[in-house]
Chains A and B, each alone.
Chain A
């Protein structure tokens, strides 16, 4: 091993020990700097005899290039290390939950009402509304339910006065609509109704949606088609729907509509419907020989309970955030 090789070994050992870029720089200055030992060797070339210069020069140059390479390799290794440690410092743990904005929710009652409205709007039904404090006439008499009619037993009524009551169903909206509008008619009306009945399965006020279609030739088949389509859209295409004869004073024939969730094993009533009674049409001045149609009414809570599996009707008016957040 000659002097040059020994020098390289020495410098190499030094560089290997280096831990940061400053020390690399120190070695660079000590070797390749103005007064560095390699630079000194370079300067020495001109002092050598002509015949030795070429050989010596080449060796010094090789030496210089070797050192430069070692230094630059070490520099990049150290730079990479620095970069690595800096990026960890700057890093963000993305598993930390982001601070959230609070967004509220629409109450499930209105959520379901909106869904029902959407289904019927697409079939051409218009949204109308009516008063909650009603005249006895609109709530009962006009709907073919005179005083002392046993059907009134089914409506435990809240009274404000002898002639004013809290509507027991949304059906008075039918009368108000037909008094103000000529057929053909397609309307729906969702809103609050009241019954004086308060226990674990009954609320003193709840929500219904009413529908009415009057035209020249509307049939029971139209009633079935419209309601079956609506129920399946709302509750699922796999549901089975049946139309069971029933009685309402303001429709004739009348039906209740049941839905089966468990393949015909259990039927759950979802709405009442029927062909509008001719007496009701006469009460608003429509000729039942010219106009006919169907009406229906459904319980919004009922639909919501079936749709979401809610088993306690008292959840709806409680307005507990743990419930409200679900929808």
Chain B
């Protein structure tokens, strides 16, 4: 909502400066977002007199004029042939003057004649939407004076955010009421004197969504330009002048907040108004020259047959005011907010009128608004009131809301001064009375946002000022609970970052094309009905797609070593849950120049095991074919017998899709399942006796044995085995093809004594026999 400060002064006296006014509005709930100077770009335009006019020797449609600004004479060329000697004009000298858009006037060559400037029209001064002729003063004016001063264009306008509950503030009078209340001033609502006789106008309402319809017929009007003061006011609030009828309807809307409409009465074929609901399928051509097809249910203003307007939204092209209009029908109506909003949404058409009607217009100001507009039209366009009709099927009345002093005090944390309370409510035009403990408040119909006691508390609080309420912390303290899941997620973050991974927070939308590369690896996920783009049209079924995308972005921007992780929601049909995912490429230790190792599947997997071990969990990894990953270099992650995730090297078609030419290692698992598997830590005392170590190297044939089996055999080979771990892994020279060499270290020990050599040797021999009996080639024993 644009509020002109100069216009506001018609309704309320303003003390103090613009900033104070802005603060008063902002701090009572009408936030001033911008303080604008709508004409500030007009510079250097001065009053001048035409002293000579001659036809242009090279162009029939142009005249060459001499212009005097009181001290100097300039040459200009104009296409406005009505310019005559002794006309007083608004002249912009070249290189110094600029128009309302800030465009600087330049000297140009017009068919062989160099101009020293140009004559301004009202369009270039921002006061008209379209001008056919240059501006001429009606009377002589002093020469060389600044047009901004002469026209009083140094206007201030506030751009105000009006919240959806306050349609009454979408008007100058409404905002004046706010300013008056805050500053304890009197609100001056313009008086109306005209008496409009009833009759001579026929209306019928056949739609429940039309709450009131008043129409006034005025004959004998003259459509012409509005006076400058009116043009200036409309222009300052962003509305360009059209003609005196359209301008007055806009003016009344900006003044009272009530949208009004004018029909050309002679273009209403049946001469009567029928308000009814659209059946559906009708076509309607609006004032904006666009044709809309209606769904049905929209409220139409018709003549019984032909549609004249889309109620509360926009007028029709065929019933609008033209230069030749002589007789008009003024509509002051109220339509159902929800119905108006539906229509506006369906047709994707929001107008100043629909914006107000969908927030709620007071039907009880109808007569006042009608009188106000009739008075203005009669004074600006002439004419005579023929009559009016006013249908108001179900009149609404003020409501009464009670507010207990106890509740008011409890909310405010102090007991307000009763005089202040009654002043505030009265100033907001609510009648208030107080008995022992309660306030009884009559709510005017223009404040349909107030229906409960808390609404009244808000009225008091915002006018009293939130700044005038103390800031204390007096609520009873409640001991907070521990949220183990939340803490676990943070532990995961710290662990992952300490392993060199940077956390990502990616969008939760994914690209279905990228998902398809993974086949049925990821489940189907919900699709958006209205995505921002096809690449963001499904909810992510996995964190990996977007993580790989982020990794790609980094690789393409000179980051060759990328280790990322993300914790977040993934989505399946009717199910959302949290996962963690990791991706890695490049050097394992990019900042360590002594460590040249590149990321490998085993090292990557080791990071996951490190995390699991931290929580005393054993993750099992089993090789499996997974779409989207390289065959033989991927598998499932199993925890407690249940598959919770996957890991591996991305398949070539995936890296190709992302235009990457690097091995990318990726992993993802269900974080909630891991959390649930964590056991409360139980303390066990360690053995006091020394342990012994035995190392054993062997060849393992791929496809025949797995290291996990060997470890399991070793673990269960004797009661003295305390621990088994792999201490070396090797492939290459000396190792048969399709095999690898590993060395395991077995720790032998007992809780209650030091084991004897023969006990250890016996156990170890038994293990070797077990392994050899399974066909494993032992290499080295220590």
Q: Which A residues have a C-beta under 8 Å from some C-beta of B?
A: 99-107, 109-110, 114, 117, 121, 123-129, 131-133, 148-151, 153-154, 158-161, 164, 166, 184, 186, 192, 194, 196, 198, 204-205, 207, 213, 215, 217-222, 224-226, 228-229, 242-247, 252-256, 275, 277-278, 292, 316-322, 324-325
Contacts and interface: CB of A to CB of B under 8 A. Distances in A.
A256 B27 CA distance: 10
Contacts of B483: 126-128
Contacts of A321: 502, 554, 559, 562
Contacts of A148: 337-338, 341-342
B131 interface: no
B472 A319 contact: no
Q: When A and B form their complex, which 8 residue pairs have the shortest distance between CB atoms, in order from nearest?
A: A247-B163, A253-B458, A245-B29, A100-B591, A104-B497, A221-B413, A219-B413, A102-B500
Given A198-B532, A244-B31, A221 B472 contact: yes
A228 B28 CA distance: 19
Interface stretch (B119-127, B185-193, B291-299, B522-530): B522-530
A133 B462 contact: no
Contacts of B557: 320, 322
B559 A184 contact: no
B503 A110 contact: yes
Contact of B594 (A99, A102, A247, A252): A99
Nearest to A256: B31
Contacts of B475: 186, 213, 215, 218, 222, 226
Interface stretch (B505-513, B638-646, B659-667, B694-702): B505-513
A150 B341 contact: yes
Nearest to A255: B466
Interface of B: 26-29, 31, 163-166, 337-338, 341-342, 358-359, 410-414, 452, 454-455, 457-458, 461-462, 466-467, 469-481, 483, 486, 490, 493-494, 496-509, 526-532, 536, 539, 550, 553-554, 557, 559, 561-565, 568-569, 571, 576, 589-595
21 contacts: A100-B592, A103-B497, A103-B498, A104-B503, A105-B503, A106-B497, A107-B502, A129-B486, A132-B571, A158-B528, A186-B478, A192-B569, A204-B532, A219-B411, A222-B474, A224-B466, A225-B470, A226-B473, A252-B457, A254-B458, A255-B466
Contact of A222 (B461, B472, B528, B559): B472
- Name B's interface SS: loop
B503 A204 contact: no
B535 to A, nearest CB: 12
Contact of A133 (B474, B498, B539): B539
Contacts of B412: 219-221
B481 A101 contact: no
A158 B564 contact: no
A242 to B, nearest CB: 7
Contact of B503 (A107, A128, A228, A256): A107
Contacts of A154: 164
Contacts of B589: 99, 101-102
Nearest to A184: B478
Nearest to B571: A133
B411 A220 contact: yes
A224 B503 contact: no
Contacts of B569: 132, 192
Contacts of A324: 502-504
Contacts of B338: 148
Contacts of B414: 221
B570 to A, nearest CB: 10
Given A192-B508, A226-B473, A321-B562, A103 B500 contact: yes
A217 B472 CA distance: 13
A221 B505 contact: no
Contacts of B532: 196, 198, 204
B165 to A, nearest CB: 5
Given A104-B499, A221-B413, A319-B506, 10 more contacts: A102-B561, A124-B480, A148-B341, A160-B528, A219-B410, A221-B414, A244-B27, A255-B466, A316-B505, A321-B554
A229 B341 contact: no
Given A104-B563, A109-B505, A221-B471, A99 B592 contact: yes
A172 B595 CA distance: 50
A254 to B, nearest CB: 7
A278 B497 contact: no
A104 B474 CA distance: 41
A282 to B, nearest CB: 11
Contacts of B505: 107, 109-110, 207, 316-317, 319
Contact of B473 (A106, A164, A229): A229
B410 A292 contact: yes
A221 B475 CA distance: 10
Given A244-B26, A319-B550, A99 B504 contact: no
**Residue with the greatest number of chain B CB neighbours at <10 A, chosen from A109, A150, A228:** A150
**Residue with the greatest number of chain B CB neighbours at <10 A, chosen from A110, A131, A221, A225:** A221
B530 A196 contact: yes
Nearest to B486: A127
Contact of A228 (B471, B550, B562, B571): B471
A281 to B, nearest CB: 10
B479 A245 contact: no
A186 B480 CA distance: 8
B458 A245 contact: yes
B528 A153 contact: no
Contacts of A114: 490
Given A99-B592, A103-B500, A319-B553, A204 B507 contact: yes
A245 B28 contact: yes
Contacts of B504: 107, 319, 324
A109 B507 CA distance: 13
A150 B471 contact: no
A198 B550 CA distance: 19
Nearest to A108: B505
Contacts of A100: 591-592
B568 to A, nearest CB: 8
Contacts of B490: 114
A245 B466 contact: yes
A243 B500 CA distance: 43
Contacts of A103: 497-498, 500
Given A101-B500, A247-B163, A321-B502, A150 B359 contact: yes
Nearest to B167: A150
A207 B506 CA distance: 12
Contacts of A194: 508
A219 B410 CA distance: 6
Contacts of B539: 133, 160, 166
Contacts of B593: 99
**Residue with the greatest number of chain B CB neighbours at <10 A, chosen from A103, A219, A243, A255:** A219
